[in-house]
Structure 1
């Protein structure tokens, strides 16, 4: 049935007015790539674009979570304001000091000292190491991961948590709801945690029947654990079987390879501060400062002792601290940059920084998986290969079926960065992340050893090879590149 002419006219007027308003509203305080993607969707497919923008258009949290972030920043500023910019004994340069200052200005977390343990790239060994730390706990264990599942591989860790709770250790656990609930055994997982005496909360929960709505695209992607305030683990590991509970993955031999590190010393207090804020937001409980934030003896950087600074980021940080850190470090480089990221979809500033580094004579090695585990992000990543190769970036493809999931970066022989953050729009703006920056010690040397291992098994992609890609594949890459700014 046709609509009356006047209703059609009204509809067209409303549609065009809405589009005109969108042109002036959407670019406000938004990066150009994101603005362009949203406007294209709204202008060409308004019936999808307008509702989607209303649901997930803003990358920033508001309300209680925003206020909690601001209150946390005030507390950190008050308690850490007296600390020096650079720890005593750390060798640095004025440009690096300015980056440390920027990180502190954006997150309120100072640069402190800490002792770096061995890097752990074997997932099963990682669970065993965490279990050993839990078994040694005397007061409490704090656990926060994006994805968790109690399976045959992770049982060693969760059983250790159960033993800790049984002997009176306070075990607090945070897990992202949407990140974990899609894996087998989700309901049983929650029940087993409760039965084990673990006090757990969902991060960013969506409970429509209880009137709790959360943006489904904003997630907590952090991966960390703290034991007694004495040792912390950070990195890229989730807590799930390396094949991610997928029969096809097991059949073809696909496993995720990750990288995490343990640290001791004052840096543990910063990891604890991040957990404390996330725990308060989800539970309403304020962790006791005298119990959980006990200063450690200062260390002199050198060897395993590093100058360390934790950089949290996410929807509560509109300044995107992790993105600014990556860009600043690339401009700081004089000789080499190595980047390992499973999802490398750079924005304009990051792409300019990495290509500018090559043009001024810096060797840049980028390690990515030969085949990505996420369709759209994988194709969006591929769309940048030609520009990177033309500039002179060395792209190393880690062989499939393994999924290279490690997330770290080194600059020259001086600075190392490791954490949960990818180098894409989602990690810069939509996901809560943590990134650990180190200098003045041996973390960067340990990361270079990992580089050598990845380089020895990877294949160097050439510009000539890439230009032979089928036209259809290049078209698909470009389409996914456009949508990457919306995800």
Structure 2
């Protein structure tokens, strides 16, 4: 073929790609993400379509979507067997907040239950010690689901406790993310399996693997269930705090006793079902006990297979409902337009909106994208503080000192659209006051961002931040 004919064919192929993707991409992405992807495709058609095929589709295999629907049906069936009086209807909340538990239930399957006791654990090594102690006291089963389990002192200590529990006849099951825990799957899992511990990878990847997920679509949850009576969830993985050298993680985990542990159990069993296709029929998984406390709690799982962006919708509802104060602590803050607008409007109508982020991050690109939002937030009246003593990896929010949210969800597109996450909603003024005290300790060790100073940042940094923000829309 003459070179001129080949060149004409290549140019024609580029225009075919542009036209096809112009019709295809907007059907499956938000407007902002679609615009960014289309810009890339129009500039570099072949490279753009290849990158979109790898990263652009928020895709789950049809089989996984069907399994999610069956898991949701099982959750509703289990809750339907519980006494009607066990459902909490928002008693004690101000009238303007009372609809929120019912609305959250419509987003994530789980209703709010009273009769819980919750502790907020901020001591990194102390949390690991409490978890290991609960494993040591387990009598029936231990279920662990973590994004990162590492072959280090922390991962090995938890593994040793599991092996001892297995010797006592305790059933131990571990789910770990195929990418986040790839090292542990290679180095720790074989010995654990030999000891009789069930270990499975969640969301396995592979070009030719059936039922595989996108490699960057991960199970980011962190939770544990012991004997169906004690649960853990939050931001902390089973890894040393110095996972990133010279940048120790600061975390928050909720330790729970009571009826909502059954919801953590259901999430674990659902994720195990996704990987095995097996349901576990065991009454010990959902024991009915005398309530150990009086705190109403509610779990909201999110991710592909659930109502799209249900975690963000829940947080948006809380932001719009708040009348006095909103405090957000997060390591990654790259919101979409809806979330950004909600915060700006809240600040402008007089709500005290405070964002606590980390001053040093383990993701340079995300950190730059995050900084691109500071100026418009500050202009709207949002107060921003940057935590100095390590990497603030904790993820929690408080609203009007009446409702708290603790979990694995970051305020970014990856958490809202791609990853499997879980949030714990706390409807208790005393526990939320404790959460607010924790947030205040972060602010006491943080540098406030002043609008007058921030506007003076160099032009090259401003450009880098805006380019990074564009890149985030490619998710």
Q: Which TM-score applies when normalising by structure 1?
A: 0.92
Q: Which residue of 2 aligns with 1:465?
A: 453
Q: Which residue of 2 aligns with 1:47?
A: 46
**Contact 2:89–2:98 (CA under 8 A) maintained in structure 1:** no
1:260 and 2:253 are equivalent in the alignment:
yes
- Aligned with residue 453 of structure 1, among 422, 425, 441: 441
**Contact 2:113–2:260 (CA under 8 A) maintained in structure 1:** yes
Cα drift, residue 277 of structure 1: 0.6
Structure 1 alignment gaps of length 5 or more: none
Cα drift, residue 15 of structure 1: 1.9
Deviation per residue, 1:27-50 (Å, 9 max, x gap): 114211211121111111222210
Aligned-partner SS, 1:27: helix
1:270-349 correspondence runs (5 A): 270-297=263-290, 305-349=294-338
* Change over 3 Å in CA distance of 1:77–1:153 after alignment to 2: closer
1:377 and 2:376 are equivalent in the alignment:
no
* Change over 3 Å in CA distance of 1:270–1:335 after alignment to 2: same
**Contact 1:318–1:429 (CA under 8 A) maintained in structure 2:** no
**What is the total number of aligned residue pairs between the two structures?**
473
1:166 and 2:167 are equivalent in the alignment:
yes
| CA RMSD of superposed structures (Å) | 2.0
Q: Which residue of 2 aligns with 1:13?
A: 12
Structure 2 alignment gaps of length 5 or more: none
Q: Which residue of 2 aligns with 1:435?
A: 423
**Contact 1:306–1:441 (CA under 8 A) maintained in structure 2:** no
* Change over 3 Å in CA distance of 1:285–1:213 after alignment to 2: closer
Cα drift, residue 11 of structure 1: 2.7
Deviation per residue, 1:152-178 (Å, 9 max, x gap): 234332211111011110000000011
1:406 and 2:409 are equivalent in the alignment:
no
Q: Distance in 1 between matches of 2:405 and 2:90?
A: 20
**Contact 1:87–1:111 (CA under 8 A) maintained in structure 2:** yes
Q: Once structures 1 and 2 are overlaid, which stretch shifts more, 5-14 or 228-237?
A: 5-14
Cα drift, residue 81 of structure 1: 4.7
* Change over 3 Å in CA distance of 1:458–1:334 after alignment to 2: same
1:75-474 correspondence runs (5 A): 75-81=74-80, 83=84, 87=88, 90-181=91-182, 183=183, 187-208=186-207, 213-244=212-243, 249=245, 253-297=246-290, 305-399=294-388, 402-474=390-462
Q: Distance in 2 between matches of 1:196 and 1:127?
A: 21
Q: Distance in 1 between matches of 2:321 and 2:136?
A: 42
Q: Distance in 2 between matches of 1:3 and 1:122?
A: 70
Q: Once structures 1 and 2 are overlaid, which stretch shifts more, 49-58 or 83-92?
A: 83-92
